[in-house]
Structure formats: structure tokens, C-alpha cells
Chains A and B, each alone.
Chain A
Amino acid sequence: MGTALEIKDLHVEVDKKEILKGLSLKIEHGEMAAIMGPNGAGKSTLASILAGKEGYDVTRGSIEYLGKNLLEMSTEDRASAGVFLAFQYPVEIPGVATSTFVRTALNAQRRSRGEEELDAMEFLKLARQRAKELEMSEDFFQRAVNVGFSGGEKKRAEVFQMSMLSPNLAILDETDSGLDIDALKIVAEGVNKLRDNKLSGIVITHYQRLLDYLQPDTVHILAEGKIIKTGDKSLALKLEEKGYQGITEAN
């Protein structure tokens, strides 16, 4: 085993407003951690910081990923090192076919890791297999990235991208919201399949249902910029029952 990610006392500001206020979190190799928390608590902010989005000031604290200082790495280097973020709001790229996008991304990552690039045929074979596993029609290969996709289609496309890029650390930011009941199950199975390959995960969600499928090792509650409670999957159930108010008061 060993530690995949360690966040210590992280303080983050946006426009002089402190959003993360001393957040600490440790994730082992192969661990699936769920993060729950009220709207505006800072969950997506944490995800963005991990992935390397600009515009945030880290005023204190550290993030270590696979023994490296994550905060010193560029966004694309983090991606090549296996950090994947499934966006809460996936972004449209007009005119760029989804398959072109994923192939460009995959080959950029492979190049930077010193691996051989996949040619068009190899790529297509892999893409077809992954789409099939996620029960997605291949029509979306030729459609522009996220353009005109329904809410649920966008989320599934994110998981498709994830399965193509086979990351080490996947951050799923509310990937379950917008998915119908069947799709949720398919997507969860897709994620579980990757787990066989030593995937560590951070699953941000508001609902128990996804966790039923994913069976997280740990559940963390993020409120007001820090982790206020950590437990096993029963914590999520308790939360479902009592709400954030109940949990924090019981604290």
C-alpha cells in the first residue's frame, strides 16, 4: 500500500476570500474516499486545486502526491502523472470531436511519460471497448466535446474519458448528479472496474445511492473549508438520516 495523496493544513483563498481553511486529508493507494458536504463548503474548490486550476492562492499548507509536491506541478504534468478530474460542470469545446479530443489527450500524456503513442486503429479499438462497457453509443465519438450533450450524457462522457486515460487518482465531482438510475449503476460499475487497477479515488457526492455501488473505504465531511468528520461508509448513512445539521451538532 502506501500513501497516494496527502493534504496538510491547506488554506486557499479566492479574491482574498478564504475558502479552504486548514483542510487535511490522506488517501492510501487503492482507497476510495467519499467527500460529502453542504453546498458552498469548498468541495469543488478542493478538486480544482488538486487538478491545478489557476486563480487560487494557496496561503498555507501542502499537497503531496506520490511523494511529489503537487502544487509545484503544471496542470498537464499532473494529468500525465495520473490525476483525473471528472468535472461537476463539463466544458464544451465546439468543433472538436470527442474521439479526437480523447486521442489527443491520451497521446499527449503518453508522450510526456515517454510511452509510444497509440495510432488511430489502436485507439479506436480501445475506445469502442470502453464505450461498450459503459453502454454508450459510439455516435458521440464524432460529436463535439460536450456540445449539445444532455446533463447525464456529459457525466457519462466524463467517465468514458476517465476510463480511456486510466488515471491513478480520480476525482469525481458530483458525477452522479444528472444520471438516471440505470446510468448511475453503469457508471459506478465502470469506476469499480478501474479500481481493480489500483485506482485511488475521491468521490464528491450529495447522495447515498452512488456510494451504495462504490462502497467507499472512507467518508469525509467537508464543511466550512475543512474536514470536520471522518468515518467509514456508515457515516454516509447517518448523514442521510440526520442531515449535516444533526451530524455537526452530534460532533
Chain B
Amino acid sequence: MAVNTETIDAVEKATKDYKYGFITDIETEFAPKGLSEDIVKFISKKNDEPTWLLAWRLEAYRKWLKMNNEEPKWANIHFPEIDFQDAYYYAAPKTDAEKPKSLDEIDPEILSTYNKLGIPIKEQEMLAGIAGSGNVAVDAVFDSVSVATTFKSKLSELGIIFCPISEAVKEHPDLVKKYLGSVVPQTDNFYAALNSAVYSDGSFVYIPEGVRCPMDLSTYFRINAAETGQFERTLIIADKGSYVSYLEGCTAPMRDENQLHAAVVELVALDDAEIKYSTVQNWYPGDENGKGGIYNFVTKRGACRGVNSKISWTQVETGSAITWKYPSVLLQGDNSVGEFYSVAISNKKQQADTGTKMIHIGKNTKSTIISKGISAGYGQQTYRGLVRMQAGADNATNFSQCDSLLIGKNCGGHTVPYIDSRNPTSQVAHEATTSKISDEQLFYVQQRGLNPEEAVALIVNGFAKEVLKKLPMEFAVEAQKLLGVSLEGSVG
């Protein structure tokens, strides 16, 4: 199925105000600096890409140039302007000589988090990008390389394609060509255009008709994640009647010098298909004074293209200096279902403006939004969501619940729900609460033997439980620990 005009139309309308701009001062050792057609060609050549993809990238680049002055400042976040010509767009994988030699060279704060999360030393080295740790890490995670191979062959027996998108371009060009940019058009927003022009690599998943992917596509990704670049591109297609659960990210803080991350994730669910996409994001959040940290500007969108299809986003966002993402669902197929479950933490000087968009197009479509925002320290957090019932969305329903929890006096939690209903038979229900962790609660829990940090972690986990229980088991356990770690120092 190609992109239909309705999709593009819907996306453009829904996202008109979601365009953003920034300038950064990135320093990496990898030239050439600045963005030009030559750089785009250079990236494409490095990836050994076919001409159609180069043409696609160049088209995106030209559109991006035209968008350069469209940087509305609607989000509740603040950061210095960034000069794009002063940035690097291609960073070759580091040579061993450039990598840190051992964990001794890594920020002790990051190491202490690794330890609290119980990450094995070998894996710590891999996450921290230690020279020569790559192969060892594969062994550490999979026990042996052969397990990884078994895993891959099991998937391919079922006809499942799970590989880097750069590989999919070569091996499965028709699929990539058909779906790339079909959910997030190049001109969707400033960053999507930028990503389309200069994306480095990412993951590609195709689940064939009627196949239920027998495992969460996760551990494999965790290894890849250590090397993912700043402009990631992910494309997941669930063909008719198929199912896949995809886990993105890593609970350990990622060591990364790049400041700006502008990823694009596109999901396509055909008739009766289901995609469950779970994220745990723990990029470096910067220090107490707001110095350093990742700008995480992501465009994630799924299209429920087929009837009875379902897409659900579950995210635990604890890292990054600035998070700006709105994983969304276009409910095109009749009876399709969209879900968004989110826990986001803003501690220290972190800022998060996050939420979702549910665009109901088909009949009897249904969406659920559960957002749990936690602010501590000097953190600022905004839930920003849009629920739109298009004229054709007969009997569509939405339920939204947005809860904010505040820890301390200097943080902020904000809720900005947009509701736009153009169909009188549709129903939208929105509930919102704001609460604080009370001194009584902390005293009660501490009286039972927990220290202040453990007490906060317990209370916060309770607050976020509705969302955490949507995560696959192995992820949920790590995410629970992570909530505690992310809020350290927020009381007492």
C-alpha cells in the first residue's frame, strides 16, 4: 500500500504546529563539518546506497533548506540556538585508538549507575564504548555468538526480516522503498526532514502475513544500540494478521558526546496486525546545573493502516537534558486501536515536553492515553497531547488520563491536552490529576525501614505502575530500578 493522500493530509494537519528548530555546537573529531548536498552524497556513498535513496535524501535536504526559517517556539522548553552549519553530520565509527581504554576513563557517576542497575562489567564496557569491548559484549549478552546466530536463523525461518536498515535497503529494496517516509513524510517537521537527509542507520523489521514474532525483538537491539548514531531511522512493518513486540533502548545511561539526537521511527500495521513498541530512554541528562546532556528530538509515528489493526507505544523516559517527542498513531483502518502509555521523569534541570497524537480517521477506532509525569529537582515537564476525531470517525472513542507527580518545590508539571472533534458520534474523555509526594507518605514508608531514596522510588513506582505493567517483563524490572536511580538526590 502506498502513502495515500489522506495520510499525508492528516499528518500535515495534525502536525502543522509541531515543527521545531535548533542550533548546536557539536564537537566530534569527524569531519567534514556543516551540511550541504555534498555531505548528503558523502553519507549515501559511505553506506553504498542505490541512486533512488540518494535522490530521496537530496529531496529531503532541499525541503529542509526551505524549512530553515520555520522554527516556531511552541514547546515549553528552553535551550540556546544552534548553528547547523557548525555541526558534523557524519561520524565514522571510532577507531580503538580513539576510544576510552578502560572503565577508569569513564565518568564515575555513569559507572555508579551501571552498578546500581546490576549491569555486568563486560556489558558496562560495551555500553561505555571501551576499545575492543564489542565482541566480548556480544558474548556476554548472548553467552556465545552461536546463540545470536540461532536467534537470527529462527527468525528468518519464519520469514521475519530484522536487520540494520542500511542492509534492508540492499536486500529488500522494494519494501523499504514502499514504506520509507510513508508515515512520517520528509516535510513532516524540521527534524524529520533533517533526519531523512542525513540519517546514519537504524533498524528494519518486516513481519510477514499471519506470523506472530515468537520473541521480543530486544536483546539483539541492545547490542546495536551502543553504536547507534545521532540520526537514527527505524521502520517496522507488520503485514496482515501479524504481531511483533519491539523493545528499544537500554536502561543504562549511554555515553555519547553527541548533543542532538533526531531520530525517526515509522510503524505500519496492516489488516489485523499488531505492533507493540516499548522504549526505555536513559540518555545522559546533564548535571545538576543543566550542563551537558542529550537533546532528544524524536518523531515517532505509527499508522494503523489496516482494519482491526493495533499499535501501542509504551515509553519510560528518564534521561536526556531535553526530551521532545510525541509518539503518535494514525487510526486509519476501521476498528483500529491506538495506545500510548508513558512514564517520564524530569529531575535536576531536565526538561521534557512529551505526549502523543491520536488521529482518528476510520470508524469505530479507539485510543487510550495514560501519561504519568514525574518532576523533581528543578525539572520541568509538560504533557502535550492531541486527540482528533476526523469527520469520518464514526463512533470513535478516546480515553486519556494524565497524572503529574511533583517532588519538591522547585519543579513544574504541566498538562496541555488538545481535543479536536469533528464527528458528533465520537467520544473523548480526559482526566488529569496533579499530586505531590507528601511528608506523611515519606515518613510512613521510612518508618517501615526504607531510606529516603528507596521510599521515593517505591512511591514513584506505585504512581507509574499502570504504565510499567505494560512493559515486557524483563524491561519492566530494569525500568523499576531505573526510576529509583533517576530520582536520586531528589529528597532529603
Contact = CB atoms under 8 A, between A and B. Distances in A.
Contacts of A67: none
Nearest to B405: A94
Interface string B212-252: 00000000000000000000000000000000000000000
Interface in B445-463: 445-452, 454, 458-459, 461-463
Contacts of B418: none
B261 to A, nearest CB: 31
B461 A80 contact: no
Nearest to A107: B449
B451 A74 contact: yes
Contacts of B459: 93, 96
B324 to A, nearest CB: 27
Contact of B449 (A87, A91, A109): A109
B441 interface: yes
Q: Which size bracket describes the interface of A in this complex?
A: 20 to 34
Given A75-B443, A108-B454, A165 B462 contact: no
B454 A94 contact: no
B451 A105 contact: no
A86 B450 CA distance: 16
A201 interface: no
A80 B449 contact: yes
Nearest to B468: A95
A95 B461 contact: yes
A76 interface: yes
Nearest to B372: A95
Interface in A73-115: 74-76, 78-80, 84-85, 87, 90-96, 101-102, 104-106, 108-109, 112
B417 to A, nearest CB: 22
A105 B441 CA distance: 14
A95 B448 contact: no
A161 interface: yes
B448 A101 contact: yes
B440 interface: yes
Contacts of A144: 462
A102 B454 CA distance: 13
Contacts of B79: none
B449 A85 contact: no
Contacts of A84: 447
A94 B448 contact: no
Contacts of B446: 52, 74-76, 79
A189 to B, nearest CB: 23
Interface string B456-492: 0011011111100000000000000000000000000
Given A101-B458, A108-B449, A144-B462, A93 B444 contact: yes
B439 interface: yes
Contact of B462 (A75, A76, A95): A95
A26 interface: no
Interface string A143-157: 010000000000000
Nearest to A78: B447
B450 A76 contact: yes
Contact of A96 (B440, B443, B462, B466): B462
Given A53-B443, A87-B444, A94 B451 contact: no
A78 B451 CA distance: 11
A95 B466 contact: yes
A52 B438 CA distance: 16
A105 B449 contact: yes
Given A91-B441, A95-B464, A79 B458 contact: no
A76 B451 contact: yes
Interface residues of B, number: 23
Query: Which of B448, B449, B451, B462 has the most C-beta atoms of chain A within 10 angstroms of its own C-beta?
Result: B449
B458 A161 contact: no
A79 B462 contact: no
A94 B443 CA distance: 15
Contacts of A159: none
Contacts of A93: 441, 444-445, 458-459, 462
A2 interface: no
A161 B441 contact: no
B451 A104 contact: no
Interface string A124-168: 000000000000000000001000000000000000010001000
A90 B450 contact: no
Contacts of A91: 438, 440-441, 443-444
B447 A52 contact: yes
B437 to A, nearest CB: 10
Nearest to B441: A91
Interface in B400-445: 438-441, 443-445
Nearest to B448: A105
Report which residue of A52, A87, A105, A112 has the largest number of chain B beta carbons within 10 angstroms of its beta carbon: A105
B465 A95 contact: yes
Interface string A38-71: 0000000000100111110000000000000000
Contacts of B463: 94-95
Contacts of B438: 91
Nearest to A95: B462
A165 B445 contact: no
B450 A105 contact: yes
Interface string B97-117: 000000000000000000000
Nearest to A75: B446
Nearest to B454: A108
Nearest to B457: A104
A126 B443 CA distance: 25
Nearest to B446: A75
Nearest to A79: B449
Q: Which 6 A/B pairs are nearest by Cβ-Cβ distance?
A: A95-B462, A96-B462, A105-B448, A95-B465, A91-B444, A109-B449
7 contacts: A51-B443, A52-B446, A55-B439, A75-B443, A87-B447, A93-B441, A95-B461
Given A52-B446, A101-B458, 9 more contacts: A54-B443, A75-B443, A76-B449, A78-B447, A79-B446, A95-B461, A95-B462, A95-B463, A106-B449
Interface of B: 438-441, 443-452, 454, 458-459, 461-466
Interface of A: 48, 51-55, 74-76, 78-80, 84-85, 87, 90-96, 101-102, 104-106, 108-109, 112, 144, 161, 165
